[in-house]
């Protein structure tokens, strides 16, 4: 049985210890099952500190390797969390596999999760067995009419639900999870994103309801200003308004006052910026082989799809900037990452793209967000179809492997330095 854990070491739940103990988030959960009107899920902006942002997405195996390196470098790490960059239980296999591996390898560390709660319920018994100590659930309202304003859609199982039907299912599952988590001895924190003019007058009702169900504390977080989201920046509450809400909440439940709205790959003390060396370890982890079958090396049947991506979730990289291509195939049960395949070094002119064409001789298609005319010509001549696209890798590649149309993801031709992600220095 796992040893008794000291719950006071969690800096997010014990403000007195936030400068004594570190937390680390493992970014193993890229998919999300809701679309919040305040959220833009950008995965590669190092200058942003907010949920949903990460520099890389790791497999469970890579995450354990990364954790081994980081705990050796930072012995103050006491907590391992999974908080995205999507939702842990929109990625249940990856999330649960990671928790099992971490608990087996690091029995002394606290485990925690941050989730919207939509698909949490089936996994609560095992969370208890794994001694997950803390779970945060984001409950933004307990009134369906208010929730309809906050969420564009909810993806529940294989169904995409909009309007009252979707948010009612979300709320039902969130509230049902709280007493079940408490029955497992898990500390429950309720996060509420405070949105001016939407739910700021309703936050106290949320607290009263979750208190009835056994929640331990609440964390009202002002909406993060994001001009790209549906709510934009107009509905960000003032600091004075947030302080007022917290003062009233304190009469209902304990309030978290030191939340830093952590990134999905956060590491260190709360409020401490990730160091360059820590970021390098994360990038190294993302490049580690993960034990999946590599593509054959002989005369190959074209059966895979290669993708230029920064983090493994979106097609979002110019070919000239891609040091690695992610190669996907089907194992008969679903999409499978075959390998992360290095590209030839820059500076080789045509030979670079000829070598890449040879490297991709087992791929039908290459997905990029930008490409120069010369590599496009050479790769096409080598038998690789180059598609300029934007969108979720999983959605696009599944359609390609199934022989379905992907026209809706296509974007216009992009040349170096011309409305693309490239540096403008050419692709040679």
Residue with tokens 């696009």: 396
Beta strands in 75-223 (DSSP E): 77-82, 110-115, 132-138, 151-156, 159-161, 187-194, 217-222
Asked if residue 73 has pLDDT above 80, the reply is: yes
User: Distance between CA 210 and CA 292 in Å, rounded?
Assistant: 43
Contact by Cβ (8 Å): 52, 264: yes
Judged by average pLDDT, the poorest of 15-29, 61-75, 363-377 is: 15-29
Judged by average pLDDT, the poorest of 30-34, 43-47, 390-394 is: 43-47
Model pTM? 0.65
Number of H helices, E strands in the chain: 11, 17
Mean per-residue pLDDT, 390-407: 89
User: Distance between CA 65 and CA 46 in Å, rounded?
Assistant: 22
Q: Which domains does the chain have, with CATH numbers?
A: 7-285 (3.20.20.70), 295-409 (3.30.420.130)
What per-residue confidence (pLDDT) applies to 317? 92
Beta strands in 210-310 (DSSP E): 217-222, 267-268, 304-307
User: Distance between CA 15 and CA 8 in Å, rounded?
Assistant: 9
Stated as kind and residue range, the H or E segment containing 350 is helix 350-359
What per-residue confidence (pLDDT) applies to 201? 93
pLDDT tens-digit series, residues 266-325: 886 665 666 677 778 888 888 776 554 433 334 457 889 999 998 888 999 999 999 999
Contact by Cβ (8 Å): 127, 186: yes
Residue 110, classed as helix, strand or coil, is strand
pLDDT tens-digit series, residues 401-421: 888 888 888 886 443 444 444
Asked if residue 38 has pLDDT above 80, the reply is: no
Residues 271-300, buried b or exposed e (16+ Cβ, 10 A)? eeebeeebbebbeebbeeeeeeeebeeeee
User: Distance between CA 426 and CA 422 in Å, rounded?
Assistant: 8
């Amino acid at each position: 049985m796992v040893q008794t854990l000291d719950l006071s070491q969690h800096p997010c739940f014990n403000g007195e210890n936030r400068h004594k103990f570190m937390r680390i988030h493992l970014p193993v959960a890229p998919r999300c099952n809701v679309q919040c009107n305040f959220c833009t899920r950008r995965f590669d902006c190092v200058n942003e500190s907010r949920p949903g942002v990460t520099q890389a997405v790791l497999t469970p195996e890579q995450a354990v390797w990364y954790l081994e390196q980081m705990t050796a470098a930072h012995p103050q790490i006491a907590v391992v969390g999974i908080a995205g960059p999507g939702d842990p239980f929109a990625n249940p296999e990856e999330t649960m596999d990671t928790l099992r591996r971490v608990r087996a390898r690091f029995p002394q560390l606290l485990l925690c999760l941050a989730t919207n709660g939509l698909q949490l319920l089936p996994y609560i018994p095992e969370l208890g067995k794994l001694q997950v100590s803390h779970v945060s659930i984001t409950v933004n309202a307990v009134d369906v009419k208010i929730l309809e304003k906050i969420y564009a859609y909810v993806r529940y199982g294989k169904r995409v639900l909009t309007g009252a039907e979707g948010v009612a299912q979300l709320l039902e599952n969130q509230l049902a999870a709280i007493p079940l988590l408490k029955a497992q001895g898990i500390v429950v924190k309720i996060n509420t994103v405070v949105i001016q003019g939407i739910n700021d007058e309703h936050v106290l009702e949320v607290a009263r309801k979750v208190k009835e169900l056994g929640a331990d504390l609440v964390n009202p977080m002002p909406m993060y200003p994001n001009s790209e989201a549906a709510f934009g920046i107009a509905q960000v509450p003032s600091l004075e308004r947030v302080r007022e809400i917290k003062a009233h909440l304190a009469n209902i439940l304990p309030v978290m006052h030191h939340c830093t709205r952590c990134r999905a790959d956060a590491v260190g003390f709360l409020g401490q910026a990730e160091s360059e060396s820590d970021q390098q370890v994360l990038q190294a982890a993302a490049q580690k082989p993960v034990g999946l079958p590599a593509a054959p090396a002989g005369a190959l049947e074209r059966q895979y799809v290669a993708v230029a991506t920064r983090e493994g979730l979106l097609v979002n990289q110019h070919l000239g900037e891609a040091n690695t291509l992610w190669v996907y195939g089907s194992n008969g049960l679903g999409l499978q990452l075959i390998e992360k395949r290095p590209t030839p070094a820059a500076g080789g002119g045509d030979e670079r793209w000829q070598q890449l064409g040879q490297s991709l001789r087992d791929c039908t298609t290459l997905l990029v967000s930008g490409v120069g005319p010369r590599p496009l010509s050479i790769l096409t001549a080598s038998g690789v179809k180059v598609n300029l696209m934007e969108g979720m890798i999983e959605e696009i590649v599944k359609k390609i492997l199934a022989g379905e149309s992907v026209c809706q993801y296509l974007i216009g031709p992009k040349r170096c330095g011309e409305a693309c992600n490239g540096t403008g220095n050419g692709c040679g």
